[in-house]
Amino acid sequence: MSHFVIVGAGECGARAAFALREKGFDGEITLLGTEPVAPYERPPLSKDGLALALEPKSVATLERYDEAGIDLLTGVTARTLDAMGKTIALSDGRNLVYDKLLLATGARARPFPGMEGAGKRIRLLRTHADACALSEMLRPGQHMAVIGGGFIGLEFAATARKLGADVTVIEGLPRVLMRGVPEAIAEVISQRHADGGVDLRCGQAIASLQEEPDRARVLLKSGEIITADLVLVGIGAIPNADLAETAGLRIENGIAVNELLETSSADIYAAGDCCSFPLALYGGRRVRLESWRNAQEQGVLAAANMLGENQTISAVPWFWSDQYDLTLQIAGLADTAVTTLRRDLGDGAFLLFHLDETGRLVAASGIGQGNVVARDIRLAEMLIAKRACPSPDALMASTVKLKSLLAA
Ligand SMILES: Cc1cc2nc3c(=O)[nH]c(=O)nc-3n(C[C@H](O)[C@H](O)[C@H](O)COP(=O)(O)OP(=O)(O)OC[C@H]3O[C@@H](n4cnc5c(N)ncnc54)[C@H](O)[C@@H]3O)c2cc1C
């Protein structure tokens, strides 16, 4: 009987395991992960879930793994991979022999240089265990210093304010969300944080972090010292590619895969946050995404290709973030855009359409309360997938339905 092994019991690994069964695979499936809990959703960890951190939002109940015949091993790490011998050595001393392997090892939070030995007052946020530790410290009147004005830092800041903590966000670049978020949207978010009482400091380089038993300190290069009860470091993520790298697989900003999610080694696939892949929609350029929907979709795609379906990656990158009452959504990649067009939706909500030099829609982004931009971003995503070149006037006119552009 064939044995398919999935290393990494996160969003992507779990979706892949279920998809294998849904597609009729009747061999053995082992899904293993380092964390002591069954696969869960990470997005709530920095949002409302942080307040309710004690219960992770599971991808599926343990009964469903049982019913699907998926052997779920938690608290177990794959230590070494022998790609020639098709064997994985596990932290519990076992060796697994596989016929096909999926690496869905995700990413880990990037530490601040030198913070490795930090104690409970300087922390990262990636796992359920991290969220539990943070939520213990999040109390009204406590002062949180957040390093990094990216998504994780800003979502944490919004949640901390909701819970009554004081918050200072320190960002080294001139504005928040410099990576991949248009300035007009970043401005709305900055203003919302300012209105919510966050002390937002952009363009501030950090000299060092210091920790004492009862407080932590952020020393800015300007000479200023910010004292806090807790420092959250939110400066990005590093793909977990070590297992693949030591096994000799090709690495390029994560585990390099082709358009079928195949690595450089036969019968080994990689998917989700851990891998970089060529995106045909953008001229085959290699990207790595850290996004919940990408992890899900690639898990399903990897399962299909492990079963020989030969399906290529075609999804449009998509990301969302919730902060206070605002939701932002981004579809596509805006960095090749030369023109940005705006469509106002009322009540401060708006969409931005990003066109390249040929007039092709390469990305769309939007912000507003609740779900207000969701439908239009979904339609824009379909236009992006069609490589459409919609009329700029039509994109800007809120009276023109995006659906009609899709039909055209
Ligand atoms: C706090 C937070 C908020 C987020 N919010 C959003 C959001 O609002 N919108 C959005 O689109 N995305 C969001 N994301 C990103 C999204 O959660 C990730 O893109 C997604 O979880 C990636 O799934 P994955 O399965 O590829 O990797 P992961 O979720 O990282 O799972 C990988 C798993 O593999 C395990 N592992 C690694 N190496 C080994 C090994 N050698 N042996 C065994 N196990 C191993 C890891 O411990 C981990 O459990 C957020 C992420 C975080 C951390």
Residue 53 binned pLDDT confidence (cut-offs 50, 70, 90):
low
Mutate to test the pocket of ligand 1, among 98, 103, 105 (most ligand atoms within 8 A of CB): 105
- Structure confidence at residue 342 (pLDDT): 98
Q: What percent of the chain has pLDDT over 90?
A: 92
Report which protein residue has its CA nearest ligand 1's atom 37: 105
Find the mean pLDDT for residues 113-130: 89
Q: Is the CB of 272 under 6 A from ligand 1?
A: yes
Report which protein residue has its CA nearest ligand 1's atom 28: 106
Q: Which atom of ligand 1 has the smallest separation from the CA of 11? A: 25
Residue 37 one-letter amino acid:
V
**Nearest CA-CA partner of 315 in 339, 293, 341:** 293
- Structure confidence at residue 206 (pLDDT): 95
Question: In this model, does residue 402 exceed pLDDT 90?
Answer: yes
The CA 303 to ligand 1 mean position distance, Å, reads 18
Question: In this model, does residue 358 exceed pLDDT 80?
Answer: yes
**Nearest CA-CA partner of 50 in 39, 59, 42, 62:** 42
The CA 408 to ligand 1 mean position distance, Å, reads 38
Find the mean pLDDT for residues 375-391: 97
The CA 126 to ligand 1 mean position distance, Å, reads 7
Question: In this model, does residue 49 exceed pLDDT 80?
Answer: no
- Structure confidence at residue 180 (pLDDT): 85
Tokens of 3: 């044995």
The CA 11 to ligand 1 mean position distance, Å, reads 7
The CA 9 to ligand 1 mean position distance, Å, reads 9
| Angle formed at CA 150 by CA 213 and CA 252, multiple of 5 degrees | 105
- Structure confidence at residue 91 (pLDDT): 98
CA distances 355 to 310, 383, 406, Å, are: 31, 12, 16
Q: Which atom of ligand 1 has the smallest separation from the CA of 33? A: 44
Residue 285 binned pLDDT confidence (cut-offs 50, 70, 90):
very high
Report which protein residue has its CA nearest ligand 1's atom 49: 10
- Structure confidence at residue 50 (pLDDT): 72
Q: Is the CB of 318 under 6 A from ligand 1?
A: no
Question: In this model, does residue 52 exceed pLDDT 80?
Answer: no
Going across the sheet that includes 275-279, the strands are: 255-256, 275-279, 285-287
Find the mean pLDDT for residues 22-42: 97
The CA 17 to ligand 1 mean position distance, Å, reads 16
Report which protein residue has its CA nearest ligand 1's atom 9: 320
Q: Is the CB of 277 under 6 A from ligand 1?
A: no
Q: Which residue shows structure tokens 């002390």?
A: 199
Question: In this model, does residue 231 exceed pLDDT 80?
Answer: yes
CB count, 10 Å around CB of 246? Answer: 11
Tokens of 232: 């959250």
Find the mean pLDDT for residues 130-135: 92
Find the mean pLDDT for residues 298-312: 98
3-state secondary structure of 78: strand
Q: Is the CB of 122 under 6 A from ligand 1?
A: no
Q: Is the CB of 107 under 6 A from ligand 1?
A: yes
Mutate to test the pocket of ligand 1, among 273, 293, 328, 329 (most ligand atoms within 8 A of CB): 273
Question: In this model, does residue 116 exceed pLDDT 80?
Answer: no
Q: Is the CB of 240 under 6 A from ligand 1?
A: yes
**pTM of the predicted protein model:** 0.97
Confirm if 224 and 173 have CB atoms less than 8 A apart: no
Residue 330 binned pLDDT confidence (cut-offs 50, 70, 90):
very high
Mutate to test the pocket of ligand 1, among 11, 34, 40, 42 (most ligand atoms within 8 A of CB): 42
Find the mean pLDDT for residues 186-206: 97
CA distances 407 to 213, 359, 363, 400, Å, are: 63, 18, 19, 12
Question: In this model, does residue 407 exceed pLDDT 90?
Answer: no
Find the mean pLDDT for residues 373-389: 97
Q: Is the CB of 243 under 6 A from ligand 1?
A: yes
Q: Is the CB of 7 under 6 A from ligand 1?
A: yes
Q: For the ranges 40-54, 96-110, 392-406, which has the lowest average pLDDT?
A: 40-54
Residue 305 binned pLDDT confidence (cut-offs 50, 70, 90):
very high
Residue 102 binned pLDDT confidence (cut-offs 50, 70, 90):
very high
Confirm if 108 and 240 have CB atoms less than 8 A apart: yes
Find the mean pLDDT for residues 191-205: 97
Residue 357 binned pLDDT confidence (cut-offs 50, 70, 90):
very high
CB count, 10 Å around CB of 325? Answer: 11
The CA 405 to ligand 1 mean position distance, Å, reads 35
| Angle formed at CA 214 by CA 208 and CA 218, multiple of 5 degrees | 20
CA distance 216 to 251: 37
Question: In this model, does residue 117 exceed pLDDT 90?
Answer: no
CA distances 229 to 18, 213, 216, 217, Å, are: 42, 10, 6, 9
- Structure confidence at residue 118 (pLDDT): 76
Q: Mean pLDDT in the chain?
A: 96
Mutate to test the pocket of ligand 1, among 135, 290, 322 (most ligand atoms within 8 A of CB): 290
Question: In this model, does residue 140 exceed pLDDT 80?
Answer: yes
Domains for the chain: give ranges and CATH numbers: 3-42+57-108+237-306 (3.50.50.60), 111-233 (3.50.50.60), 325-407 (3.30.390.30)
Tokens of 371: 């779900």
Q: What are the residues facing 210 on neighbouring strands?
A: 217
Find the mean pLDDT for residues 81-107: 98
